Amino acid sequence: LKDDCDYYFGNINLPRDKFLQDTIKNNDGWAPIKVLLTFNRLAAITTDVDAVSNAVKGSHSEIICLSEDGLKICRNTNNPLPENSLEYWQKIKHCTVYMKGFEQSTSLDEIMDYAKKYGNVENILMRRTKPHRVFKGSVFVTYKTRAEAEAAQKDDTKFGEIQLTKMMQDDYWTMKSQETKEKRQAEKMVKTTKKFAEHTEKLHAQARFVKGLILSVSGLPEDTTLSAVREFFKQFGDVGYVVYENGESKAEIRFAGEENGAQEAWNKAVSEGTDGKVIFQGKELVGKVLDGEEEEKYWSAFNASIQNKMDRAHSRRGGRGGRGRCVFIFS
């Protein structure tokens, strides 16, 4: 009982226990024992105010004092709390050992009996899950001195039949920080790999096209127009897109429909031409249906151009953009 009361008013718990702080503040520096008996650790032992009062009265504790009426407890004014500073909590961390491997059913008293073999135990924090507060099987044990903490960490005495994992809290948090860093790097790698896979799939999807639809023609007059080229070839097939730059002698015509539509259109143009020649605005045209790498290159460039236009439109959120030199006609 006395040890539990010492814990509640100790250097580590009291600065963190807002409820107990408020109770003390509202009772002129004292905490009624009947309030303390609502705390789990104490309530598990007794619900009798006199039992707690008698335990504290005969203990000669350096941490707590009992009121004259035996109904209240306060922090020993001759042993005030240390300054609640960063330096103080750094010191606490340097005197704390992480221990892992306890069974879920292990009690605080059992852990205390094991830990105090190495020195004066200031605090034991049993790590629990949220929100159900199930014991994780690991604890932080704070000793009065660094030497005691190091002795506990270095000793390999088993807890019953269990070989515990032990490390200083400093080393534990360094390890966890590294694990967090590696986890983030792994998550980043997963995202990168996923994006690469999506990009690859996109490229594969782009590579799947109907073959034989692109007719490349050369010999165009310098003063012709894209519309004129398009209207001319509409006589021989269903023109989907025309790629032409003003002043150039070449154009690429994409025909809609089934495979080899470009060859069928060119054959028709030849058959309806003059002496087997395709004449456009007084100039003889030379035609070639793209295949193999040339055909794949056309589709890759075409799809990339469409994607870039979509990306720019998205980034502008509906704003107007400039015009490029390359013109696409959509049927």
- pLDDT, tens digit (0-9, with 9 covering 90-100), for 142-153: 999 999 999 999
Last residue of a domain, one of 12, 40, 75: 75
> Which structural domain, as residue segments, surrounds residue 21?
2-75
In one-letter notation, the amino acid at residue 49 is: V
Q: Is residue 189 part of a domain?
A: no
Q: Are residues 48 and 122 in the same domain?
A: no
The answer to whether residue 192 sits within a structural domain is no
pLDDT at 251 exceeding the cut of 80: yes
Q: What is the mean pLDDT of residues 195-220?
A: 78
Greatest Cα-to-Cα distance within the chain, rounded to the nearest angstrom: 127
User: Which has the higher per-residue pLDDT, 208 or 320?
Assistant: 208
Do 103 and 12 share a structural domain?
no
Report the percentage of the chain scoring pLDDT > 90. 59
What would the mean pLDDT of 46-69 be, rounded to a whole number?
A: 91
| Residue 34 and residue 95 in one domain | no
Alpha carbons 183 and 176: distance in angstroms, whole number: 10
205 pLDDT band, cuts 50/70/90, is low
Q: Are strands 327-328 and 239-244 parallel, antiparallel or unpaired?
A: antiparallel
Angle, in degrees to the nearest 10, between helices 169-207 and 292-316 = 120
The residue to which tokens 């980043």 are assigned: 188
Cβ-in-10-Å burial (0-12, 13-18, 19+) of 118 comes to: buried
| Cα four-point dihedral sign 13, 19, 22, 24 | negative
Secondary structure element (H or E) that encloses residue 175, with its range: helix 169-207
Residue 316's pLDDT band, with cuts at 50, 70 and 90, is low
DSSP designation for 80: P
Domain boundary among 46, 75, 104: 75
Note whether 67 and 90 are same-domain residues: no
Tell whether 226 and 323 lie within a shared domain: yes
Do 239 and 322 belong to one domain? yes
| Residue 317 predicted with pLDDT over 80 | no
Residues 144 and 230 in one domain: no
The domain that holds 23 is classified in CATH as 1.10.10.10
Is pLDDT of 65 > 50? Answer: yes
- Where is the domain boundary, 75, 105, 136? 75
Is 184 within a domain?
no
pLDDT, tens only, 218-230: 999 999 999 999 9
**Strand 135-143 relative to strand 239-244: parallel, antiparallel, unpaired?**
unpaired
* Residue 143 domain flag: yes
How many separate domains does the chain show?
Answer: 3
- Here the CATH number for the domain that contains residue 224 is 3.30.70.330
Closest CA to 265 of 292, 288, 294, 244: 288
* Burial 60-90, CB ≥16 within 10 A → b, else e: ebebbbbbeeeebbbbeeeeeeeeeeeeeee
- Classify burial at 183, counting beta carbons within 10 Å of its beta carbon; exposed 0-12, middle 13-18, buried 19 or more: exposed
Residues whose CB falls within 8 Å of the CB of residue 169, separated by 6 or more in sequence, listed in order: 93, 94, 96, 97, 98, 140
Instruction: Specify whether 281 is located in the same domain as 220.
Output: yes
Do residues 123 and 226 share a domain? no
- Residue 145 located in a structural domain: yes
Residue 220 sits in the same domain as residue 319: yes
The dihedral through the CA atoms of 34, 40, 42, 44 has a sign that is positive
Classify 7 as helix, strand or coil: helix
Which residue in 143, 124, 139 sits closest to 4, CA to CA?
124
* Residues 124, 19 within the same domain: no
Q: Both 227 and 320 in a single domain?
A: yes
Q: Is 196 a domain residue? A: no
| φ, ψ dihedrals at 288, nearest 5° | -150, 130
Q: Which of these, 299, 323, 121, 301, lies nearest to 213 by C-alpha position? A: 299
Q: Within a domain: residue 193?
A: no
pLDDT for 220 equals 96
199 inside domain: no
